[in-house]
Amino acid sequence: MPFFCRKGSSLSSIALVLVLAFLASVSLGQTRPRDPAIAEGIALHDRGEFDKAIAKYQEALDRDPGSIDALYEMTYTWYAKRDLKKALELATRGAERATPLRPQFLMLLGNIQDDLENPKAAITAYQAAIKDAPRISLLHFNLGVTYLGQKEWRNARLSLQRDIGLDPAHASGHLRLAQAYQQEGFKVPAFLAYLRFLTLESAGPRAKFAADSVDQLMNAGYTTDGKGNVQVAVSLGSEALSKEEGDFGAAELIMQIAHAADEAQKKDPDRHGSLPESPAPVRILKSTLAMIGETSAEKGEGFAATYYVPFFTALSKDSKLLEAASYLVWQSREIPGVNSWLEENADAVKAFKAWSAAFQWSGPTPP
């Protein structure tokens, strides 16, 4: 599976550990002052001087063998050094103690087990962490990524939904959820999840992968002979059989005929009206979202229906926001006219991003 990654490992974990260190300092700082050697160790770690950082944490532990925050920082630095055996030993020790940092130790433990190719042990660790701290979104994300690796698509989907339910701005959660949806055959939910990812991360390799996936979903079954003759083979996905994520039968049909409708309008403008002066992918995406917005006001009680549909329905009702989003989605694909429009309409893009950031999301979240 492309771009398979998790937060809490490799370079991406630097941001995570700062968050966890902050949480730790808040909870632990209320009971006793933090040993200055820990802060020195963190600074050394951030410079990549792992051995010196470990020595500083050891100084703190020599003075206070019960220092859980020193133990956590040391565990994380051994993990960053990729000494998984030592990191596993320390993470296990930390997870056995009933402290505010237990969920973080369990998260590290899960990451280590996954790196050691022990997915069942990783899942057990993440589930234990979630039991202690159900509102830490990254625990659900890491669990979902591990389920994806095991091809447990439904479990992955449910875990990733909890992640973005808690953190709607977590781009990676939307991307992985889109992949889980696609594996299960939920075409419209996958389409919407990819689009949401692209509104958050529109450039780079991951964006290119997501934009390509959107294009494939929109053009599934569409063929042309090069002479303007178009065929659309309509093939409904699992939404036709299962409405677990919502009733998207009409929306899927709209996705599949939007390109053909654009071609018909281009071929016979006197009959169908002139096309807007914008790149075809932008036109087709705008018309698809507008039509889905008109037909998707009530799509059942599934996660995609109650989470993604309100966002895209609201978006489709504002032509300026819809236009900005439709250009932004294709930024990574080097389509003529797209990047120049984005540069010339920076204020419109800024307005869309502000609207997106302020949107009030709904959906199931852990208690």
pLDDT per residue of the chain (367 residues) written in tens, 0 to 9: 333 334 443 323 433 443 444 444 444 444 567 899 999 999 999 999 999 999 999 999 999 999 999 999 999 999 999 999 999 999 999 999 999 999 999 999 999 999 999 999 999 999 999 999 999 999 999 999 999 999 999 999 999 999 999 999 999 999 999 999 999 999 999 999 999 999 999 999 999 999 999 999 988 755 555 655 555 555 555 544 578 898 887 777 777 776 655 555 555 554 444 445 678 889 889 888 888 877 755 567 789 999 999 999 999 999 999 999 999 999 999 899 999 999 999 999 999 999 999 999 986 555 5
- Kindly state the DSSP code that residue 8 receives in the 8-state scheme: T
Count the neighbouring beta carbons within 10 Å of the beta carbon of residue 185. 16
What is d(CA 292, CA 254) in angstroms, rounded to the nearest whole number? 7
What are the pLDDT digits (tens) for 184-239?
999 999 999 999 999 999 999 999 999 999 999 988 755 555 655 555 555 555 54
| All CATH 1.25.40.10 domain ranges in the chain, comma separated | 1-110
What is d(CA 288, CA 193) in angstroms, rounded to the nearest whole number? 15
Straight-line distance from the first to the last Cα atom of the chain, in angstroms, rounded to the nearest whole number: 31
Report phi then psi at 219, rounded to 5. -105, 15
Exposure string of 5-44, with b = 16+ CB inside 10 Å and e = fewer, is ebbbbeeebeebbeebbebbeeebeeeeeebebbebbbeb
Q: How far is CA 84 from CA 88, 92, 223, 278, in A?
A: 6, 12, 51, 52
What are the pLDDT digits (tens) for 13-66?
433 443 444 444 444 444 567 899 999 999 999 999 999 999 999 999 999 999
pLDDT of amino acid 262? 52
**CA atoms within 13 Å, Cβ hemisphere of 139:** 23
pLDDT of amino acid 25? 41
Task: Calculate helix-pair angle for 319-329, 280-295, nearest 10 degrees.
Answer: 130
- CATH fold of 1-110 reads 1.25.40
Decide: 185 and 301 in contact? Cβ < 8 Å: no
Question: Tokens 């591990």 label which residue?
Answer: 146
What is d(CA 312, CA 289) in angstroms, rounded to the nearest whole number? 7
Which sign does the torsion angle of CA 356, 358, 361, 365 carry? positive
If we measure between CA atoms, which residue out of 360, 248, 350, 363 comes closest to residue 299?
248
Q: How far is CA 131 from CA 55, 75, 138, 260, 300, in A?
A: 33, 22, 13, 49, 29
- Reported for 312-317, long-range contacts at CB under 8 A and 24+ positions apart, including other chains, are 312/192, 312/195, 314/359, 315/289, 316/289, 316/290, 316/292, 317/293
- Kindly state the DSSP code that residue 66 receives in the 8-state scheme: T
Helical H segments across the chain, by residue range: 13-29, 36-46, 50-63, 68-80, 84-95, 102-115, 119-132, 137-149, 153-166, 171-184, 187-200, 205-218, 249-267, 269-272, 280-295, 303-316, 319-329, 338-344, 346-358
Question: What pTM value is reported for the model?
Answer: 0.84
pLDDT of amino acid 165? 95
Question: Tokens 């299960």 label which residue?
Answer: 184
* The pair of three-digit structure tokens given for residue 75, joined into one six-digit string: 């565990």
pLDDT of amino acid 243? 82
- Please report, to the nearest 10 degrees, the dihedral formed by the alpha carbons of residues 123, 125, 126, 127 taken in order: 80
Residues in the chain: 367
